[in-house]
Amino acid sequence: MDSGDERLRTAWEQLSQAFWDRGRRAFHESRPRRPGDPEWAYNWGFGAVLSAAGAIWQALDEPAWLLPDLNELRTALRGYGRDSRLGYASTSRWAAPGDTFYDDNAWIGLAAFDLRTAADWEPVAWETYQYLLEGWDPVSGGVFWKEHPTASLHVCSTGPAALLGALLYRLDPSRVELAPIGSMLKWLDRLRAPDGRYWDNERVSDGQINTALHTYNAGTPIHAMAVLEATELPGFRFRSQMEATIAALPAFLTEQGALPPTPWFNAVLLRALKTVKTVYGIDSELLPLYRRAVAGAWAERANQPFALPSRDTRGGVMLRDAAASVEILALLESYPAS
């Protein structure tokens, strides 16, 4: 079998060849393009590509072969900017700009944090966090889903905002206030389901809670709690909550005993599990499922992007699914041994 470096490089090159338009310096949202898709990727899909790059950058100890592509990604990211305002629109300025989502920006910021030792990436993490604070509601403590309308507060925006703040606090405590992060975590605690997982969102108008449960909504709170628990700050101790959520994770398994086929959601959860294993030595019984899924998908790959099974194919492969599959491969490559 190929070495880990060779597998990751092959998977990354397949992803780039399938979705990257070098002439336009932009990514396609899906392959083949599906009716109704924008010509160029939403920033959610682009953020997933950045996350995959960040995972490879860390797993392979900053491989030199990735640097030219990181420069291209930095150029492409500018296309999502909004004329000196913080935050990135959902499609690039080369296409029709869409709405601006706080959660999608959070994924970009978290990926930039992973890439912070590469040139020009750390400022993106700081700037994105400042943008996320614009979407933080100090009354409830949650972070809005999108700029307009501010109709709902979501775990998928609040969890990664708290996580990015926690990571940046560890990097430079003088630049990050803990109060907003603490209020985000209190809001997240309100959205905890009785079994320890996290519900999806809260409607602002009447406080109604959407009780959908997704793996990525468990991932970012676990990850944020793990990072803050390691700081040993008074008032920021979360070991029991973190362990309760990890213990609840098998409830996500399908009747076939597999993870739900949502590669991006599962990549976010695996990031958290890797951190918990690294910092606390706590492993999850889900890990063998990740390894089995990757082995199966890798064995079946041909001259196409490496992609784990997804419930959202509709005749093609979505950029975020292909990118998340590469990220999962990278996270498993660097997952601490038991």
* pLDDT tier, 2 (very low <50, low <70, confident <90, very high otherwise): low
Q: Where are the beta strands (DSSP E) in the chain?
A: 20-21, 26-27, 30-31, 152-154, 201-203, 209-210, 317-318
Q: What percent of the chain has pLDDT over 70?
A: 98
Q: Which SS3 state, helix, strand or coil, does residue 20 take?
A: strand
Residue 331: is its pLDDT beyond 80? Answer: yes
Q: What is the pLDDT of residue 94?
A: 79
Which position has the higher pLDDT, 104 or 92? Answer: 104
Q: Give bridge partners of residue 146 from the DSSP assignment.
A: 101
Question: Which pLDDT value is given to residue 325?
Answer: 97
Residue pLDDT, tens place only, 234-256: 888 899 999 999 999 999 999 99
**Neighbouring residues of 167: CB distance < 8 A, sequence distance ≥ 6:** 110, 113, 125, 227
pLDDT tens-place string over residues 120-167: 999 999 999 999 999 999 999 999 999 999 999 999 999 999 999 999
Q: CATH class for domain 4-333?
A: mainly alpha
The residue count for the chain? 338
Q: What local confidence, expressed as pLDDT, does residue 303 receive?
A: 67
pLDDT at 200 over 80: yes
Tell me how far apart the alpha carbons of residues 112 and 123 are, in angstroms, rounded to a whole number: 8
Residues in Cβ contact with 250 at an 8 Å cutoff, skipping those fewer than 6 apart: 285, 286
How far, CA to CA in Å, does 38 sit from each of 16, 28, 95, 238? 18, 8, 8, 41
pLDDT of 214 higher than 50: yes
The predicted model gives 22-28 an average pLDDT of 90
pLDDT score of 314 = 67
Q: Is 21 helix (H, G, I), strand (E, B) or coil?
A: strand
With a threshold of 0.85, does the pTM exceed it?
Answer: yes
What pLDDT does 1 receive?
Answer: 42
Amino acid present at 281: G
> What's phi and psi for 193, nearest 5 deg?
-75, 160
Asked if residue 32 has a cis previous peptide bond (ω within 30° of 0), the answer is yes
Eight-class DSSP state of 221 = H
